[in-house]
Chain A
Amino acid sequence: ETGVTQTPRHLVMGMTNKKSLKCEQHLGHNAMYWYKQSAKKPLELMFVYSLEERVENNSVPSRFSPECPNSSHLFLHLHTLQPEDSALYLCASSERRISGANVLTFGAGSRLTVL
């Protein structure tokens, strides 16, 4: 248990479905992140929220829609996904966004399969 909890751990959805991934951190951190982890590829940063404000969006398709209602919760809303979106989606948090020694604490991830 890292202090960052992701649900669901596994999700299978069709291309026309709408689903959401949830992340909750119990660490009192001020920044939260969504990463995509695909086989044989580096972790890709998708979104960054700092104090509930989206501060970074790395050219992610609009079929992924993040939401950060407060500093402890982060959602990733999914709609009309493609099979190539199948991956492990990792949530992370940190004390603050910008700092050299800023350590990320990750959740265990949500394994998404798009049929």
Chain B
Amino acid sequence: GQNIDQPTEMTATEGAIVQINCTYQTSGFNGLFWYQQHAGEAPTFLSYNVLDGLEEKGRFSSFLSRSKGYSYLLLKELQMKDSASYLCAVRDITDKLIFGTGTRLQVFP
């Protein structure tokens, strides 16, 4: 079956670095997405990886290893506003987008 695994909850301190992991088992692979969702708000696109390696975008970076079925989202210089849920999603061989349950990140002062 298709499966996306990510931790349910994480906590971190303002100014720190946090890494949110995502492992996947899907029918083929056509790209991996990370979305951010603040409570009561729309999920918003953060990053897209289709090739192995690291994609950097400001304080946020996303890494992909297709051979390991693994990705992580790295958040640097954490701010209070980074408290949100982070959704990992994989597009499979049929272009269907499979979502994980999301990781709720709480940033403390």
Measured CB to CB, the residues of A under 8 A from B are 2, 4, 40-43, 45, 90, 97-109
Contact = CB atoms under 8 A, between A and B. Distances in A.
Contacts of B40: 108
Contacts of B96: 45
Contacts of B33: 103
Interface residues of B, number: 25
25 contacts: A41-B101, A42-B99, A42-B100, A42-B101, A43-B89, A45-B96, A98-B95, A99-B95, A100-B31, A100-B91, A100-B95, A101-B48, A102-B91, A102-B95, A103-B33, A103-B45, A103-B48, A104-B43, A104-B45, A105-B42, A105-B45, A106-B42, A106-B43, A106-B44, A109-B42
B24 to A, nearest CB: 12
Nearest to A101: B48
Interface of B: 4, 8, 30-31, 33, 35, 40-45, 48, 50, 87, 89, 91, 95-102
A103 B91 CA distance: 11
Nearest first, the 3 closest Cβ-Cβ pairs linking A and B are A43-B99, A106-B42, A42-B99
Contacts of B99: 42-43
B25 to A, nearest CB: 14
Nearest to B4: A42
A100 B42 contact: no
A50 B50 CA distance: 24
A73 B42 CA distance: 17
Contact of B41 (A43, A98, A102, A108): A108
Given A41-B101, A100-B31, A90 B43 contact: yes
A101 B50 CA distance: 8
A14 to B, nearest CB: 24
A104 B50 contact: no
